[in-house]
């Protein structure tokens, strides 16, 4: 199998013995737990930097642009804008995935869903059999792929990151990442010490008993990624426009109907029950903005990762978002026309390769 072009940046840190062992909770005889971040894009670099700044021992497996900038360190900013930096000289780069995975106690998977299988194969080839693998990915299909490719006996856990991260490189080329929305990461329970090890400043982590329900709940919110990409607007501006919120409300209502037919009960993400989201989104602008401000903080410049994918000419995750609703609907004998319409518009924009098409909400065709 051809290896993807990647590099590894090692961020050395002080030891945190006894927090987590070879089996995520056992004694390690004082050995510093090593955390590998597989496929470090914006989310992976931000999470890795937060962990390193908190004293964790982190290895980032990343792509060529990270290699070029690695010697200058990594800068991050939380939602409040306060800058922090992983100092130059704390970064080592290599092109060998074995360097990232061979000694890792924990492997955080942060690639896009379309790359999950390929990264799982690299983990299987180079990772330790007793390493704990954690999916920090959007979508509901990554855990089955990881577990299937890694085989029985491997520990694979799900997790959900609720916030998005924007890459904002400095003028001198230093890698810079800004967390643009709020929320705590949810991680599947059952491994004592794992949540505590990963719970650091800038990336708070809590355990959940039902990661599948959490992932379906997050999928409901991820349905806006496509709308934001199609609009070309910053998230805060798009969500302040009732016309776009009506489209999103119709999308979520359709997805909820499909989930009900399939017997799926999505968990709440934040303070609002999933079933109330369409009603909330349809509120008049002033009332919605006042309520939303209490529940979700959004940087005024933030956009969705799918918007960034279109701008950079990359494959989007539309198959894992609206596509997941289409497939679930088909499997349960019902239709999901709005999901199909939005997915088609995104695929059309992908094929044209000119970035966000900047369409109007009326052009999407979803009113309720």
Q: Is the pLDDT of residue 281 over 90?
A: yes
Q: Which CATH homologous superfamily contains domain 7-208?
A: NAD(P)-binding Rossmann-like Domain (3.40.50.720)
- pLDDT value of position 21: 42
In CATH terms, are 7-208 and 213-364 the same topology?
Answer: no
Q: Measure the N-to-C terminal CA separation of the chain; round to a whole number of Å.
A: 48
* Exposure string over 199-211, b if 16+ CB within 10 A, otherwise e: bbebbebebbeeb
* CATH level 2 (architecture), domain 213-364: Orthogonal Bundle (1.10)
Alpha-carbon distance 37 to 360, whole Å?
38
Domain ranges of the chain: 7-208, 213-364
Is the separation of the CB atoms in 303 and 235 below 8 Å?
yes
Give, to the nearest 10 degrees, the angle between helix 285-295 and helix 242-262. Answer: 60
Q: Residue 88 and residue 12: Cα distance in Å, rounded?
A: 12
If you compute the radius of gyration of the chain from its CA atoms, what whole number of angstroms results? 20
**Res 313: pLDDT:** 94
Most confident stretch, 36-50, 59-73, 126-140? 126-140
The residue-averaged pLDDT of 318-347 equals: 97
Average the pLDDT over 49-64 and give the result.
88
For residues 303-327, average pLDDT? 95
DSSP state of 298: B
Taking CA 204 as the corner, what is the angle to CA 17 and CA 111, rounded to the nearest 5 degrees? 90
Q: What is the token pair recorded at 5?
A: 């072009």
- Centre a 10 Å sphere on the Cβ of residue 352 and count the other Cβ atoms it contains: 10
- pLDDT recorded at residue 67: 67
Neighbours of 144 (CB within 10 A): 11
Q: Report the share of the chain in percent with pLDDT over 90.
A: 66
Helices (H), the chain: 42-53, 64-70, 97-101, 116-126, 142-150, 194-198, 211-231, 235-239, 242-262, 277-281, 285-295, 305-311, 322-331, 337-352, 361-364
Confidence at 20, pLDDT banded by 50, 70, 90: very low
CA distance 78 to 65: 22
Residue 367 φ then ψ, to 5° = -120, 150
Q: Are 191 and 132 in contact (CB under 8 A)?
A: yes
**pLDDT for the residue numbered 29:** 40
26: pLDDT strictly greater than 50: no
Give the pLDDT of residue 181: 87
Q: What is the mean pLDDT of residues 151-172?
A: 91
List beta partners, residue 107: 36, 133
Flag whether pLDDT at 5 surpasses 50.
Answer: no
Starting at the edge strand that comes first in sequence, how are the strands of the sheet with 175-179 ordered? 83-86, 74-77, 175-179, 165-167
Q: What is the pLDDT of residue 28?
A: 39
pTM: 0.88
CA 285/CA 307 separation, integer angstroms: 23
Residue-averaged pLDDT of the chain: 87
């Amino acid at each position: 199998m051809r290896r993807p072009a990647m590099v590894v940046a090692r961020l050395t840190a002080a030891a945190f013995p006894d927090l987590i062992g070879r089996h995520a909770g056992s004694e390690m005889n004082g050995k510093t737990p090593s955390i590998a971040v597989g496929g470090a894009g914006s989310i992976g670099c931000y999470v890795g930097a937060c962990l390193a700044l908190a004293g964790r021992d982190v290895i980032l497996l990343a792509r060529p642009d990270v290699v070029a900038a690695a010697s200058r360190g990594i800068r991050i900013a939380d939602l409040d804008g306060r800058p922090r930096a992983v100092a130059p000289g704390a970064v080592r780069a290599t092109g060998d995935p074995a360097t990232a995975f061979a000694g890792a106690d924990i492997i955080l998977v942060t690639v896009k869903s379309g790359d999950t299988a390929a990264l799982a194969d690299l983990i299987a080839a180079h990772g330790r059999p007793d390493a704990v693998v954690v999916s920090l990915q959007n979508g509901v299909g990554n855990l089955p792929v990881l577990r299937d490719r890694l085989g029985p006996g491997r520990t694979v856990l799900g997790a959900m990151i609720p916030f998005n991260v924007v890459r904002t490189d400095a003028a001198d080329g230093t890698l810079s990442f800004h967390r643009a929305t709020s929320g705590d990461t949810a991680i599947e329970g059952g491994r004592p010490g794992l949540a505590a090890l990963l719970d650091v400043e800038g990336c708070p982590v809590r355990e959940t008993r039902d990661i599948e329900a959490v992932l379906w709940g997050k999928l409901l919110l991820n349905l806006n990624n496509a709308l934001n990409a199609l609009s070309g607007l910053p998230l805060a501006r798009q969500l302040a426009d009732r016309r776009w919120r009506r489209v999103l409300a119709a999308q979520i209502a359709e997805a909820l109907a499909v989930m009900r037919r399939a017997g799926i009960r999505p968990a709440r993400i934040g303070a609002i029950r999933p079933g109330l989201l369409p009603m909330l989104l349809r509120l008049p602008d002033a009332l919605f903005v006042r309520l939303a401000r209490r529940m979700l903080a959004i940087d005024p410049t933030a956009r969705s990762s799918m918007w960034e994918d279109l701008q950079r000419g990359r494959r989007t995750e539309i198959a894992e978002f609206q596509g997941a609703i289409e497939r679930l609907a088909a499997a349960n004998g019902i239709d999901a026309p709005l999901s199909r319409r939005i997915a088609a518009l995104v695929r059309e924009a992908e094929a044209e390769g000119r970035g966000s098409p900047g369409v109007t909400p009326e052009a999407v065709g979803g009113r309720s």
